[in-house]
Amino acid sequence: MMRVKLIHMWLDYFTGCTDVPIGYPMRHALQKDHYKIKLNNEHVRKEMVYEKFDYNIIPPVAENNPFANQLVNEIWPFLRNLWRSRGGFEAEILFNPEIDLKEFGTQYGPAQFYATYKFKITDEGQWDADFDIKFEQVDNPLDDREYPPEGRKGAFYAQDYSRWQSNTVKRARKLAKPTWSSDEGRSGQDFADLLDEEAYLNETIDFSFHTQFKGSGDWSNHEKYQVDVSNEKRDAMPEKEADSGTAVKSSISLDSIQKLPSRKRDVIIT
């Protein structure tokens, strides 16, 4: 959900800034309730080049919680690249169940994430950050099973979509899991193993954490991270080649296509 929200915010600041107009499902409530961003100069537009940058700015917050250590740094790509493209700004970005469930629903889970990001950066790249981030792992409210030992209710819920039969699913299954049956997906034993993993995770894993971060930095040396991109055509992916079908030997001009005369239908009047 965090990434979905951030990409919508990112696109909000590209509207009217591109040679080719962009279209996306606008979420007007985001600017009203979820974030406030004030650009230093509304007219700044910068072309972005590829770069290789380490976004692990906040050090690990929990030794045995890789989820937390990743989540605390998820905000940085948005902040840095907004600055790279639109110049300095001041921002306050909010995450909490009240506003996020209202806007995005339960499709991304029960919204256990709370965060307030306060960030300010100059046009030159000097920044100050004040973050408060909390994640609460809760039992899935949409899981109507009983708690152990009678049932399996918990934060983790094993779901098996591998047996769906649409063409898209079949193709994805063939590419991602070539050892599985192309028609049936997971075997019975595979699904039993999945249920064992679900039980293990519910018994042993709790990703809950709460951390605060205050810091400052300087991104003025951004040229240091730029990466030259080859303008040579990349080879086709092997699976694309395998699924490309019969090659087209020659193209057909539209001008060469002749219209056939329309056929007159016999009309019988009784």
**Does the residue 166 lie in any domain?**
yes
Across 36-65, average pLDDT: 92
Check whether 269 has a pLDDT greater than 80: no
Check whether 241 has a pLDDT greater than 80: no
pTM (2 decimals)?
Answer: 0.74
**Does the residue 231 lie in any domain?**
no
Check whether 251 has a pLDDT greater than 90: no
Residues 101, 11 share a domain: yes
> CB-based contacts of 217: which residues, under 8 Å, 6+ apart?
57, 126, 127, 129
What's the CA gap between 226 and 231, in Å, rounded? 15
**Does the residue 87 lie in any domain?**
yes
Q: Are 169 and 161 in contact (CB under 8 A)?
A: yes
Question: For residues 270 and 102, which has the higher predicted lDDT (pLDDT)?
Answer: 102
- Please name the amino acid found at residue 224: K
Residues 180, 113 share a domain: no
Check whether 252 has a pLDDT greater than 90: no
Task: Specify the 3-state DSSP secondary structure of 218.
Answer: strand
Q: What are the strands of the beta sheet with 113-121, ordered from one edge?
A: 35-39, 89-95, 113-121, 126-135, 209-218
Task: Specify the 3-state DSSP secondary structure of 265.
Answer: coil
Check whether 186 has a pLDDT greater than 50: yes
pLDDT bin (cut points 50, 70, 90) of residue 234 is low
Q: Exposed/middle/buried for 199, CB within 10 Å: 0-12, 13-18, 19+? A: middle
- Listed range (57-61, 169-173, 227-231) with the worst mean pLDDT: 227-231
Q: Exposed/middle/buried for 173, CB within 10 Å: 0-12, 13-18, 19+? A: buried
What's the CA gap between 12 and 123, in Å, rounded? 20
Check whether 258 has a pLDDT greater than 60: no
Q: For 55-80, how does the pLDDT look when each residue is reduced to its tens digit (9 = 90+)?
A: 999 999 988 899 999 999 999 999 99
Residues 144, 87 share a domain: no
Residues 194, 170 share a domain: yes
Across 180-192, average pLDDT: 82
**Does the residue 256 lie in any domain?**
no
Among the listed residues 105, 80, 89, the one whose alpha carbon sits nearest the alpha carbon of residue 29: 105
Give me the pLDDT at residue 267, please: 37
- Listed range (34-48, 139-153, 213-227) with the worst mean pLDDT: 139-153
Give me the pLDDT at residue 243, please: 45
Ramachandran sector of residue 226 (left: φ over 0; alpha: ψ -120 to 50; beta: rest): beta
What's the CA gap between 198 and 193, in Å, rounded? 9
Give me the pLDDT at residue 111, please: 66
Give me the pLDDT at residue 254, please: 44
Residues 93, 118 share a domain: yes
Give me the pLDDT at residue 257, please: 43
Check whether 196 has a pLDDT greater than 90: yes
**Does the residue 84 lie in any domain?**
yes
pLDDT bin (cut points 50, 70, 90) of residue 260 is very low
Tally the domains of the chain: 2
Q: Are 164 and 172 in contact (CB under 8 A)?
A: no
Provide the strand spans (E) within 89-185: 89-95, 113-121, 126-135
**Does the residue 226 lie in any domain?**
no
Q: Are 74 and 92 in contact (CB under 8 A)?
A: no
Among the listed residues 4, 1, 6, the one whose alpha carbon sits nearest the alpha carbon of residue 80: 6
Instruction: Tell which of 146, 180, 205 closes a domain.
Output: 205
Provide the strand spans (E) within the chain: 35-39, 89-95, 113-121, 126-135, 209-218
Mean residue pLDDT across the chain = 82
Task: Specify the 3-state DSSP secondary structure of 193.
Answer: helix
Residues 193, 96 share a domain: no
